[in-house]
Structure 1
Amino acid sequence: MTAMYSDRALVIGAGFAGLLAARVLSESYGDVVLVERDQLAADTEHRSGIPQAHHPHALLARGAEVLEALFPKLGTELKAAGAIQADLGSDFMSRAPAGWAPRDPIGLSVRSMTRVTIERIIRRRVLKLPNVSLVDGVTIDGLLHDRGTVTGVQGTRQGTPFTDYADLVVDASGRNSKLVSWLAELGVHCPAPMIVNGHLAYTSRLYEVNHDLKLDWKTAYEITHAPETKRGGAVSSVDGGLWFVTLFGAGGDMAPTDEDGFLSYATTLRCQDIAEIIKTATPASKIYRVGNLRSRWNRFHKIPNWPRGLLALGDSVVSLNPVYGHGMTLAALNCAALRELLAEHDLAKEPLIFQRAVAKTAQIPWMSATTTDLGWSEKKLPLSTRFMQWYARRLFQVVPGNRHVYRAFIRVSQMVDHPVSLFRPAVLWKVLSGRRPRATEQ
């Protein structure tokens, strides 16, 4: 644990990223305050600040490792709250365009739960820390500053002016962050963000588990894949007694939000278990849809006059197309970097060290998400992007019946292994040859 300072840190946003940031800062700052726009009761359900909570949230295996380090025995607590633990091989039924993936145990597991559940449990843990407090119902309008240093925030709370001062301000307010405009008011101008629009949409609904359906999986999904496969879907067991059903649409396609249309869309998928659940299970929520899913990268690490006393992390910096499930894991990795760097640096005085670390962490998930999404683009793409798309198509062609290739892909997709592992000779040969092994070779 790092040395405790007498300084005060303020975190904008008490969502997933903000809570993790407060947990890390509590080790180095004497007073940490979370400032949140929404009103937060002890067991807040869905709230306007996190519209994505109506859709599935994936905590990748790498993210789970980071969370367990920050919150010991968190996995046990999540399990007690109903989170479903599933092996990414034997408990998953996965359909690629060329066929079904192998169902062998991989030895890598994930816990499946709703965003509401994981955030509630983490919020309770964070707010039990003696030097962390929460001020909710606050709309931040801008930053306080003095000669190149951010000194606090200003806004309103319940119609009255709100001002708070801190030695370090952390923006964790998510993909709707106003930080770029706040910086412009200080005379700090950001490079244009990188934006890739995947032209994807997803439509989701919760159902009560129908125990009469004898299913041999905990998660089933069918992926979209450019340029031909525009429809996909997924169903996951969550929170003990619920199924989360989500239907994907790409290239302008999208599932309807009425009951008949939702079911009709599901029947067009190869994974018919999804439609069967919709037909027979009892709905536990409305049908929600979000479209125009995109990825955006605010390149804060390239701003030479970035103010002292200010950090940004999570979706405020890099917000990836949520269909790929990188968001929570990337936020966790940002906070792991924050913890490590605080042991060596006063980041209030050297903030660009952290912003560069955030950028470095984002490179691989950004490449993964945007390379896939650019498959729907009609523009001429760089040769490197076209090569990666070609290789991905070859890889998915050999996934059915190819345990070794599928295992390597899953480990990369869970951010456990580096993508270079997909080019190791044992995988590369199978992908380039396009040969599916006989049963004795698998």
Structure 2
Amino acid sequence: MDHAVVIGASMSGLLAAAALHRLFAQVTVLDRDTLPTVDTHRRNVAQSRHAHGLLARGREVIDELLPGLSAELVAQGAIKGDIQRHSRQIHSGQRLARGASGLDGLLVSRPLLEGQIRRRVSALPGVRVLGDRIVTGLLSQRGRVTGVRLADGRPIPADLVVDAGGRGSRTPFWLGELGYDPPREDRVPIDVRYGTREFHRGPDDLGGDLVTIIGPTPESPRAGVALALEDDRWIVTMGGYGEGPGPGLSEFAGYATTLAAPDLHQLISTATPIGEPRAYRIPAAVRRRYERLARFPEGLLVTGDAVCAFNPLYGQGMTVAALEAGVLLGAELRPQAFFRRIAKIVDAPWDITVGGDLRMPGVEGVMTPKTRMVNAYLERYLAAAAHDPELALRFLRVANLYDPPPSLMSPGSLLKVLRSGAQPAVPVPA
């Protein structure tokens, strides 16, 4: 095959290009932004200014697509750490037991991560990453997409077009122009609002731990995360359903007192702030059901947030994008087969996040009996995992997308949970 075009130099677009270069003589990535020559935030990626979680599974897949990338990032200041030993994981008010998971996560700012991936992808044979290119439509002939059209009218022919244009993807509209039905959308109105500040990081902060994650509960529907970053920084992001922290430092610290654990408040109260606060809002989690369309043009695929934009509080988007890029390496690039395969990737994190969101007050949606049962069991499971490192690791393997959620109900896990007699917890001390 000769030429593939990727719409969007996002994480999903760059990783798609890393896969496609093994299959096509030429790969062209087109992005509407002026792409920076240094590692900095991009104008059309406002979310990059907030904490980003690269799950352990995502790091492994990216290293498979771009061998040696993790080592390159660590050489530039990124931090590797065991996802269980070096992190404080507090979920449903339970502080999970520590242990050695053998799974390394990578702590790195979004600008450094995206910048290094962009450099690596740009250096691949036959790959071009071009900024200031706005795609306004698709070219087609006899039921097949044959390229894209730019805002200045220029056509760019292609054997395959991959839309990695994010939440604002225009593919549903373009399908209508070509005479196809748009995909059905599953939409959960979450109205998540969050704010972020950075702080200087000292060697004794958080007792030397690298990560703190405090999940929301129905009693305290607010979440927070602190991640150690390069250049001796902390990035702290907190948010909730319908409201987030105020911009002032005292408001930010006050918000931290309402979380299910005091760890972030203790950090914010002693660390020195850097720079200005940032805020962001996500009105809804959206999944476009391309796998359920009966008709779809050949020569066109969709990936990343353009297929499923998760609640960002769960930190699964980049890892899902990496796993979807890996699917492109398969021999079958026909749309129906591709969409069915990535649907299996999306199913688990979508069910996890939606099930969690529907527990929160003010989030509208249908709570099925199955979801109620799973949520009730998970409460008991996490209470037991507060005292059992093996149960805690099994939960983290699911959260990091190694294992499917039903693995938490294996006979061994179920027996441990039932024997524990543990009950849902009240807010936990540090």
Establish whether TM, by shorter chain, passes 0.5: yes
1:36-47, aligned counterparts within 5 Å? 36-47=31-42
1:292 CA drift (Å): 3.7
Contact 2:172/2:183 (CA < 8 Å) preserved in 1?
no
> Among residues 384, 390, 404, which one is paired with 1:418 in the alignment?
404
Residue number among 302, 318, 324 corresponding to 2:314 in the alignment? 324
2:153 aligned residue (152, 158, 161): 161
- Would the aligned equivalents of 2:30 and 2:130 in 1 still touch at CA under 8 Å? yes
SS state at 1:221 partner: strand
Contact 1:93 1:221 in 2 (8 A): yes
1:294 corresponds to which residue? Answer: 284
Q: Deviations over 1:30-66 (max 9, x none)?
A: 1111111100132241112211101111111211111
Q: CA deviation at 1:90?
A: 1.7
Map of 1:81 onto structure 2: 76
1:359-398 CA-partner distances (Å, limit 9, x unpaired)? 1221111111111111124655221111111112222222
Q: 1:279 Cα shift?
A: 3.0
Give runs of aligned pairs for residues 130-149 of structure 1, distance below 5 A: 130-149=125-144
Q: Distance in 1 between matches of 2:207 and 2:373?
A: 38
What's the counterpart of residue 116 of structure 1?
A: 111
User: Is structure 2 residue 235 aligned with structure 1 residue 249?
Assistant: no
The one-letter code matched in structure 2 to 1:353 is A
Matches within 5 A, 1:26-425: 26-156=21-151, 160-211=152-203, 213=205, 215-225=207-217, 227-250=218-241, 252-269=242-259, 271-341=261-331, 345=332, 347=333, 350-376=334-360, 377=363, 380-425=366-411
CA distance in 2, matches of 1:134, 1:410: 35
How far apart, CA to CA, are the structure 2 residues paired with 1:385 and 1:76?
40
Distance in 1 between the 2:42 and 2:188 partners?
27
Distance 1:98 1:305, change over 3 A: closer
- Cα distance in 2 between the residues matched to 1:92 and 1:220: 6
Structure 1 CA distance for aligned equivalents of residues 15 and 288 of structure 2:
21
Matched residue, 1:440: none
Q: Report the count of equivalent residues.
A: 421
Deviations 1:69-92 (A, max 9, x none): 111111111111111111122211
Q: Specify whether residues 98 and 22 from structure 1 end up closer, same or farther in structure 2 by C-alpha distance, changes over 3 A only.
A: closer
**One-letter code aligned to 2:421:** R
Kindly state the Cα deviation for residue 11 of structure 1 after the two structures are TM-superposed: 0.5
- Secondary structure at the aligned position of 1:175 is classed as helix
User: What SS is found at the alignment partner of 1:257?
Assistant: coil
Q: Deviations over 1:152-210 (max 9, x none)?
A: 11132xxx433211111110111111111111111111232011233432211122223
- CA shift for structure 1 position 236: 1.1
Asked if the contact 1:220/1:235 (under 8 Å) is kept, the reply is yes
- Aligned CA distance change for structure 1 residues 292 and 351 (closer, same or farther; 3 Å): closer
**CA separation of 1:28 and 1:228: change in aligned 2, threshold 3 A:** same
Shift of 1:414: 0.8
Report the alpha carbon displacement of residue 434 of structure 1 after superposing the two structures with TM: 4.5
- When normalised by structure 1's length, the TM-score is 0.90
Against the structure 1 CA distance between its residues 205 and 399, is the aligned structure 2 distance closer, same or farther, given a 3 Å change threshold? Answer: same
Equivalent-residue separation in structure 1 for 2:55 and 2:322 (angstroms): 10
Q: 1:331 to 1:436 in 2, by over 3 A?
A: same
Q: Which letter maps to 1:360?
A: K
Contact 1:106 1:407 in 2 (8 A): yes
Look up the equivalent residue of 1:275 and give its one-letter code: H
Distance change >3 Å, CA 39–CA 173, structure 1 → 2: same
Q: Distance in 1 between matches of 2:370 and 2:280?
A: 30
Report if the CA contact (8 A) 2:215-2:260 is conserved.
Answer: no
Counterpart CA distance in 2 for 1:193 and 1:325 is 21
Maintained 8 Å contact 2:194/2:243 = no
Q: Deviations over 1:312-366 (max 9, x none)?
A: 111111111111111111111111111023xxx4x3xx32211221212211111
Is the deviation greater in 197-206 or in 229-238? 197-206
Amino acid at match of 1:242: R
Deviations 1:274-323 (A, max 9, x none): 22332333333321222345321111122222111111111111111111
Distance of 1:212 and 1:143 partners within structure 2: 54
In the alignment, the residues of structure 2 paired with residue 378 and residue 433 of structure 1 have an alpha-carbon distance, to the nearest angstrom, of 35
Q: Report the counterpart of residue 427 of structure 2 in structure 1.
A: none
Aligned residues of 1:25 and 1:339 also touching (Cα < 8 A): yes
Answer yes or no: is the 8 Å Cα contact 1:12–1:18 preserved in 2.
yes
Unpaired runs of at least 5, structure 2? 424-430
Q: Which amino acid counterpart does residue 322 of structure 2 have in structure 1?
A: A
1-structure distance, mates of 2:140, 2:365: 43
Amino acid across the alignment from 2:232: G
SS at match of 2:167: coil
- Structure 2 letter corresponding to 1:408: R
2:16 is matched with: 21
Change (3 A) 1:384 1:214: closer
Instruction: Tell me the secondary structure at the aligned position of residue 340 of structure 1.
Output: coil
3-state DSSP of counterpart to 1:284: strand
Taking only aligned residues, the RMSD between alpha carbons, in angstroms, comes to 2.0
